[in-house]
Amino acid sequence: MTPSQASPTGQGAAGETLLAVPSRMKTLALRADFQRASRASRVAMPGFIVQMRRRAPYDGDGVRVGFTCSKKVGNAVARNRAKRRLREIARLVLLQHGQSGSDYVLIGRRTATAALPFDQLQSDLRTAVDRLHRTPT
């Protein structure tokens, strides 16, 4: 059923209730947010590094995520490809496994971020997020 076919009452076919589509993750843009995350917990995986910071309650809810790749990753084309892959795994994993009220920063690694199989990157992010959520702050 496409959104244009959905009824305005939120009811689907045969009276089943439709769930709301998860909202998009907010993206970190301020340098200060990246710096705060760099001082928080981190987990290194073969294809990337994940940093996680729990925000103060007054900073709002939801998952915020930032992406970075240094020039060590390669030229602009290589960095953009690595960031696209990181954005996609974050979209697939963090909407389900991310904790509300947390900031995540994914840092691309030289050759590995663009070269590893996508399924491995995705499972590595799940593993990293589970490890970060177990660590006390």
Query: Per-domain residue ranges for the chain?
Result: 23-134
Phi, psi of 28 (to 5 degrees): -70, 135
What confidence tens digit (pLDDT) does each residue in 79-123 have?
Answer: 999 999 999 999 999 989 998 889 999 999 998 999 999 999 999
Question: Which fold is adopted by the domain 23-134?
Answer: Ribosomal Protein S5; domain 2 (3.30.230)
Distance CA 78, CA 64 (A): 24
Q: What is the pTM of this model?
A: 0.79
Say how many C-beta atoms besides its own lie within 10 A of residue 88's C-beta: 13
3-state secondary structure of 100: coil
**Selection from 69, 121, 66, 112 nearest residue 93 by Cα:** 121
